[in-house]
Structure formats: C-alpha cells, structure tokens
Amino acid sequence: MIEKKLCERMSAFGITLTDEMQRQFDRYFELLVEWNKVMNLTGITDYDEVNEKHFLDSLAVVRVLDLSGTDRVIDIGTGAGFPGIPLKIVFPHLHVTLLDSLNKRIRFLGHVAEELQLADVELLHGRAEDFAKKKEYRETYDLCVSRAVANLATLSEYCLPYVKENGYFIPYKSGEIEEELDASKKAVSLLGGKIETVEKFTLPGTDIGRSLVKIRKVKKTPGKFPRKAGLPSKEPLH
C-alpha cells in the first residue's frame, strides 16, 4: 500500500525505507484512521497527506542532526506520536519517550507501539512541567523534539530541562519565524540553551515550508525552571 512517492521523498533525506519500515508506516496509518473515528488525534486522514505532513515531516530532523549517534529521545506534546513514532520506526536503536497530557492519546500510542512491535518506547501521561522536575527525566536526554504548537520561549521552558549538556532541543516550526526567534533568545539562554542554526526548507516533493531550530544545551537549566504548570504558556520568559 505504501507509495513509491514516500520512499523517494525519504531518500531526499538520505533515508532508505526497508520493507519492514514500510509495513510499519502502513499499519500506523491504518491505526491512526481507525482510532481517529472515536477520538480527535488528527485533522489529516488522507493517505498522501498523512505521509507528507506527518511521516515525512517527522523525519525532517535528520537535516540538522545525525541520529545514528543519538541514544535517548523525548517527544514533548507528542499528540498522535509525531515526530516520535516515525523516528523510532526509521531509527530502531533509539530509546524514545513520548509525553502527552491526554491519557487517551497515550493509550493509542501504547497500542501503536504494541502493534508495530516497537521496543524501548516509554509513555508518559502528564504535563511537561511536572516530569521535568523528576530526576530520572531531568537532563537525561540526548535530544528533545516537539511539534507542539507553542511559542519558542514557552516551548523551550517545557523542553530544555530534559536535555543533557551538549544535547539538543529541536522544535519543528513552520515557515517564517524571525520574530519568534528574536523574542525567545533570552529565554533560551536563561534555560541553558544556545541557538546554533535555523534550517529553512520545503518538504521534499511538497510546497510545505518548514523551519527547524537547532538549540544546543550549553549549561545546566537552573532548578527553578520549568515554573509551575501553566505559567510557561501564560507568562513566557522574555
């Protein structure tokens, strides 16, 4: 069922999909559509669109980071599992943690991991602000990714506390983000991060504009961050 088109587009990222990976992506699509009938997982259910806007987009991170040397990854506000599950399919060596505040999404992701036989996938139900205070999660990840919709200052407060020194936080952003970048610089620095590069591109074979912000963790995040639940979004650091 998987289209040659997806394989070709993935190859633009230097990714070759094996038969098993193709099977896993197809099954993931089927589960997404099936469960979406009873819960709101995504507004996108067309096969081509899911391949482009969810699967291909999730793998775009390889444009700015070589994942072969990465071990532990956390996906904050993972929703229906993007980008975490596609990253796990293509890079099975990764230990992936998926965090979401809605338990029904976590139940869905547990079913996906089981159906696709994905090992080393940890599911966390709760708020990013709370788990970041726990020592087993704080500053233990090589990479934190997020496609969550929040401004960069807020997202940095959610995400940077999870990243260990010399690890990376890479948020997926759309198109033009100059203003947002400028407004977030102080927050990123306060939280121990440094913006290294911003990669702007169009997803292969589409007209979808993407920006990936590569933020390196250069020093530990002060213990007072993240602030208590709700504050990072109500009062972003600036």
Q: Any binding-site annotation on 167?
A: no
Q: Any binding-site annotation on 201?
A: no
∠ Cα 123 125 130 (to 5°): 115
Q: Any binding-site annotation on 176?
A: no
- Domains in the chain, CATH or no CATH each: 4-234 (3.40.50.150)
pLDDT digit string (tens) for 84-108? 999 999 999 999 999 999 999 999 9
Predicted structure pTM score:
0.96
pLDDT digit string (tens) for 177-228? 889 999 999 999 999 999 999 999 999 888 889 999 999 999 999 999 999 8
- Bridge-based pairing state of the strands 193-202 and 209-217: antiparallel
Beta bridge partners of 75: 98, 145
Q: Any binding-site annotation on 129?
A: yes
Q: Any binding-site annotation on 72?
A: no
Residue 1 has pLDDT above 90, yes or no: no
